[in-house]
Amino acid sequence: MRASEPLPPAHPSRWLYFLILLMVLFWSMNFIIGKAALREFPALLLAGLRISLAGLLLLPAFAWDHRNETGLREWRWRDLLNLTGLGVIGVTLNQLFFVVGLSLTSVAHASILMGLTPMVVLLVGALTGAERITGRKLAGLAIALTGVAVLNRSRPAGANPALLGDLFIFLSSLAFAIFTVAGKRVTRRYRTITVNTFAYVAGAVVLLPVTLWQSGEFAFSGASWAGWAGLFYMAAFPSVICYLIFYYALTQIPASKVAAFGYLQPLLATLLAVPLLGESITAGTVVGGSLVFSGICLAERA
């Protein structure tokens, strides 16, 4: 925590917890709205447009946050390269894999597999020497992987939870885990808005050739208002507003408490997908999801 930042209050307000629950709801709805938007936009185009729009929306917040900060002209090239590299991994690959995976699998599978992110962060951290794997963490990992195996034997009718889609969702989680571990040093030096803005703007630039290629083959006039609203939602709410709430919450309560609310996300996304998308919940989904989060809870308590 920076010296200039306020200390977390002893008794956080109800307003703070309302914001956190709103954040979880917005992130949960991202799976639902993303699935609906994929009915109108190709996956690669949706990913490119989402990242580009999120970058544009973050620029005013970046300018406001840094109105009294040092200008970019005084930064080192190494700073720019580090932030750009993190953006390519944490945004371009993360969200590209997420959208492609979501187009091929069910909301239940996608949300549960994204819930594995803390475990993937643990593994990446262990490989880089940033984390130490204890016996309890190893047991938690084994339980979570068993849950993944059970989950991938579940094939709810009509949901098309292809193994390839689940693989892309895992790759999305892996990209975010690498971003998290590699970005620890960077986020200690730079402000949160700076890291996020560079991540999205760099991601938009890297994906620009793909976005332009997909745009040339897509009839934008054929997209409905609901499709455009879905695209705007994916860019504004989970990509910008939720992260602003997330980092604000970190200044008010411990990170462990903020992270605990994340366990509601797969549950909400799965339950909402039933009435809104017509997906079904199988016994395999329930058992696999329960094993995954039991493993995560065990490892997180280690």
> C-alpha 270: how far from its chain's center?
16
Look at residue 2 and tell me if it is in a domain.
no
- What is the spatial distance between Cα 86 and Cα 212, in angstroms, rounded to a whole number? 23
Q: Tell me, what's the pLDDT at 3?
A: 42
Q: pLDDT per residue over 237-260, tens digit each?
A: 988 888 788 777 867 776 556 766
Look at residue 8 and tell me if it is in a domain.
no
Q: Tell me, what's the pLDDT at 156?
A: 52
Q: Tell me, what's the pLDDT at 302?
A: 57
* Residue that has been written with the tokens 């996300």 in this structure: 265
Q: Tell me, what's the pLDDT at 278?
A: 87
- What is the spatial distance between Cα 114 and Cα 73, in angstroms, rounded to a whole number? 38
Q: How is residue 253 annotated by DSSP?
A: S
Q: Tell me, what's the pLDDT at 73?
A: 46
Look at residue 136 and tell me if it is in a domain.
yes
Q: Tell me, what's the pLDDT at 7?
A: 47
Q: Tell me, what's the pLDDT at 34?
A: 95
- What is the spatial distance between Cα 16 and Cα 251, in angstroms, rounded to a whole number? 11
For the chain, how many structural domains are there in total?
1
Q: What percent of the chain has pLDDT over 90?
A: 27
Cβ–Cβ under 8 Å, residues 39 and 96: no
Look at residue 1 and tell me if it is in a domain.
no
Cβ–Cβ under 8 Å, residues 93 and 175: yes
- What is the spatial distance between Cα 186 and Cα 78, in angstroms, rounded to a whole number? 11
- What is the spatial distance between Cα 195 and Cα 200, in angstroms, rounded to a whole number? 9
Nearest-10 crossing angle of helices 283-300, 264-277: 160
Buried b (16+ CB within 10 A) or exposed e, 108-132: bbbbbbbbbbbbbbbbbbbeeeeee
Look at residue 6 and tell me if it is in a domain.
no
Q: Tell me, what's the pLDDT at 187?
A: 61
- Domain coverage including residue 198: 14-300
Residues 6+ apart with CB under 8 A from 214: 42, 44, 45, 48
> C-alpha 31: how far from its chain's center?
10
The residue ranges of the chain whose pLDDT is under 70 are 1-12, 68-76, 152-162, 184-189, 250, 254-257, 259-260, 300-302
Here the tokens at position 211 are 């976005």
Q: pLDDT per residue over 96-122, tens digit each?
A: 999 999 998 888 888 888 888 878 888
Q: Tell me, what's the pLDDT at 37?
A: 95
Look at residue 169 and tell me if it is in a domain.
yes
Look at residue 7 and tell me if it is in a domain.
no
Cβ–Cβ under 8 Å, residues 190 and 83: yes
Here the tokens at position 247 are 């980092």
CA atoms within 13 A on the CB side of 115: 36
Is the pTM higher than 0.85? The answer reads no
Q: Tell me, what's the pLDDT at 254?
A: 65
Look at residue 3 and tell me if it is in a domain.
no
Single-letter amino acid code for the residue at 72: L
Classify 56 as helix, strand or coil. helix
Q: Tell me, what's the pLDDT at 259?
A: 66
